[in-house]
Amino acid sequence: MAAPGAQPEGTRDEQGAATAVREMFDTIAPRYDLLNHVLSLNIDRFWWWRTARRFRTILGHPDAIILDICCGTGDMTLALLRRRPKKSRPILAADFAHQMLVRGAAKFIARGAEAVEADALHLPLASSSLDLIVSAFGFRNLANYQAGLGEFQRALKSGGEVGILDFNEPSGVMGKLYALYFRHVLPAIGAVISGVSGPYTYLPTSVHRFPPAPEMLEIMRRAGFHDVSWTPYSLGIAGLYRGVKS
């Protein structure tokens, strides 16, 4: 069984892990977008687009209430907004790392989204109030995955959907090549561009700690989701988890 959640080096409990993650992302916020595009060879743009397309039916309803949690600097939010009709309800875009949210808000505030500084484990939202929750490359950093899914389940309406886009460790030859890049080349490039090494050493470690797809799907079922699925992207480098609130 995988660990309950993310655990950056030097942390011993969930509160310490959450604090370390928040400080880490605030530190790299100024170069976060550049690094994402460089390190993924711009494939990340395709992943956001593909994820938004999977939820196009819900996004197409103007009154749907949608949350992009762990929104970071807002690229997933922008992909969701492109699927929204004119005069729709604003998308709620939330993150607990202030510097990341500030940069995201600068992109999406004028396009139909509302910035909310909030912790994914303690959403400031009423129970059964959301139609869709999406998280792109943020869920993996929660201090407790089961608690995070439980909070998502609480906030979703009956029949509401969750979508979690995150990294994965592929198998086979592709997995070996990717592991070489992810564990050695990526941290070196990240350190040079950002000026700090810790966050880009943490990245491959956090992916390795994240539950593999079959286990993650079981965690989702235990949290009260049905029709759960995982769709691999780019030969399994990343993938989308989906579920419906029972």
Distance CA 161, CA 92 (A): 15
Helix (H, G, I), strand (E, B) or coil at 33: helix
Q: Is the pLDDT of residue 85 over 50?
A: yes
What is the reported pTM? 0.93
Looking at the DSSP bridge assignments, the partners of residue 243 are: 162
Quick: pLDDT tens for 21-77: 999 999 989 888 877 777 677 899 999 999 999 999 999 999 999 999 999 999 999
Residue type at position 58: I
Pair of tokens at residue 144: 């407790």
Q: How high is the pLDDT of residue 22?
A: 96
Work out the number of other CB atoms within 10 angstroms of the CB of residue 28. Answer: 20
Q: Are 163 and 240 in contact (CB under 8 A)?
A: yes
Pair of tokens at residue 176: 């070996």
Quick: pLDDT tens for 146-183: 999 999 999 999 999 999 999 998 888 877 887 788 78
Distance CA 183, CA 176 (A): 11
Q: Is the pLDDT of residue 215 over 60?
A: yes
User: CB under 8 Å to 16, separation ≥6 — which residues?
Assistant: 10
- Tokens 């608690």 locate to 147
Q: How high is the pLDDT of residue 1?
A: 41
Distance CA 34, CA 132 (A): 28
Q: What are the distances in angstroms from CA 150 to CA 38, 47, 75?
A: 34, 25, 25
CA nearest 131: which of 77, 217, 76, 67? 67
CA nearest 232: which of 218, 215, 212? 212
- Tokens 């079922």 locate to 221
Domain boundaries, the chain: 14-245
Q: How high is the pLDDT of residue 72?
A: 95
Domain 14-245 matching CATH 3.20.20.70: the answer reads: no
